[in-house]
Amino acid sequence: MTESRRHDRLGIHSIGEFHMTVPCLEEAERFYSAFGLRVTYEGEGLVLRTVASEHIWGRLSKGAKKKFDRLTFHCFADELEKLRTHIVAQGVELMPAPPGADASGFWFRDPDGVALQVRPGAKTTLNAAQHASPALPVDGVRCAPYNSEAQATLPQRLSHIARMTANFTHMYDFYTRVLGLRLSDRSGDGVAFLHAPHGSDHHLIALAGGPGAALHHLSWDVPTVDDCGLGMARLQAAGYKVGWGVGRHVLGSNYFYYAQDPWGSWSELSATMDYIPAEIDWEGKDNPPEDAFFLWGPPPEPAVFFVNSEADA
C-alpha cells in the first residue's frame, strides 16, 4: 500500500518510540508480558515490541520511580530540515540527545519538560483503516467460541499516548503549532485528541488536564472488542485486577479495556478507533463533557483513574 501523506501540511507522521524509567524491571517484564507484548532485556534495560513486529515501541530503564521522560516522533526524510527550521522558528531551543539516546534527527523539550526527538523513520500510523468485528451469529450455528478455544489477538501496534498535564493550554499550542498535529476533538481544557496530518487514528496524542505532568496511558491496537474482553480476562488471570472496562468511548469511537500498571498509570487495549485519512479535512469540535468520555461501560473510579502517577511523594 502506498504511504499516505499530504504535501500542503508540515508535521510529524507517527510515534517512533518512548522511554521511561521504572523502579523494577522484573515487575515491568511481568506486566507487559501479561499485557501481550514481547519483552526482552537489551543492555541494562527492557525493550517492548509487539509479538508480530521487530519495531521497538518502548525502552525501559531502571530508576528511582516511574517517569515518562522521552518520546520520539517520526517524519518523512525529505521534511526533516523543513521541520527543524519550522520548530526553531517557533522559539524552541534545540538540545543535545539525552545520555544513551539515539542522536539522529534533533532533540528539544515540550512545555512539560519531556525530551522530544524528531527523526526520519517508518510511518507507524496506518495508511488506511483496518476495521474488523467479531463474527456475527448465523441461524442454527453456535457463534461464540468455547472458553477452551478462545484466543485473543495480542496488541498489534502502539496506537496513541495520553499525557496528563497541568499546562494544558501551552501543551495544546505546542503540539499543534510546533509539531503540526491537528485537532480531532476536545472538551474545553479537559481533554484534547490530536491526529497526525498524513493519515492517522483519531488520536496519536491525547492531552488531559490534571494535577501535574505524567503519562496517563499507552494505547495498543487490537482488532475487535472481543480482543479487549479476552485481554481483560488474561490480565486478571495474571493478577492484574485493577482496570476499567470493557466499554466504548465517544470521541474516537473505540472499544477499550484499561489495565493499571504497577506504577499507577495505564495500558489500554483499543479496538476499531475512528480513522482520519490524509485527504480528509477533519472538523475538530469542542464537545460538552457529557459527550467527551465514554458511551457505555462501568464508571471509572476517579481517585484511581485520574491520579497523577508521577507526582512527587
Of 1-15, 150-164, 190-204, the least confident? 1-15
Q: Quick one: cell of 39?
A: 519483552
Exposed, middle or buried: residue 55 (CB in 10 Å: 0-12, 13-18, 19+)? Answer: middle
Q: Is residue 30 part of a domain?
A: yes
Positions of E strands within 53-196:
58-62, 67-75, 106-109, 115-120, 157-165, 182-187, 191-195
Q: Quick one: cell of 192?
A: 484534547
Q: State yes or no: pLDDT of 1 exceeds 70.
A: no
Q: Quick one: cell of 94?
A: 534545540
Q: Is residue 160 part of a domain?
A: yes
Q: What is the pLDDT of residues 199-250, one digit of tens each?
A: 999 999 999 999 999 999 999 999 999 999 999 999 999 999 999 999 999 9
Q: What are the beta bridge partners of residue 49? A: 38
Q: What is the rounded distance in angstroms from the CA atom of residue 31 to the CA atom of residue 14?
A: 25
Q: Is residue 185 part of a domain?
A: yes
Q: What is the pLDDT of residues 252-308, one digit of tens each?
A: 999 999 999 999 999 999 999 999 999 999 999 999 999 999 999 999 999 999 999
Q: Quick one: cell of 98?
A: 539525552
Number of domains in the chain: 1
Name, in order, each residue with C-beta under 8 angstroms of 187's C-beta and a sequence gap of 6 or more. Answer: 251, 286, 287, 288, 289, 291, 292
Q: How far is CA 107 from the centre of its chain?
A: 20
Q: State yes or no: pLDDT of 88 exceeds 80.
A: yes
Q: What is the pLDDT of residues 46-82, one digit of tens each?
A: 999 999 999 999 999 999 999 999 999 999 999 999 9
Q: Is residue 142 part of a domain?
A: no
| DSSP one-letter string for 198-252 | TSEES-SEEEEE-SS-EEEEEEEEESSHHHHHHHHHHHHHTT---EEEEEEESTT
Q: Is residue 263 part of a domain?
A: yes
DSSP H helices in the chain: 25-35, 80-89, 168-173, 225-237, 302-305
Residue-number span of the structural domain to which 91 is assigned: 14-124+155-305
Q: Could you tell me which of 20, 102, 21, 32 has the C-alpha nearest to residue 261?
A: 32
**Which CATH number characterizes residue 219's domain?**
3.10.180.10
Q: Is residue 150 part of a domain?
A: no
In the chain, pLDDT over 90 holds for what percent of residues? 95
Q: What is the pLDDT of residues 187-197, one digit of tens each?
A: 999 999 999 99
Q: Is residue 6 part of a domain?
A: no
Let me know: does 72 contact 16? Beta carbons within 8 Å: yes
Q: Is residue 268 part of a domain?
A: yes
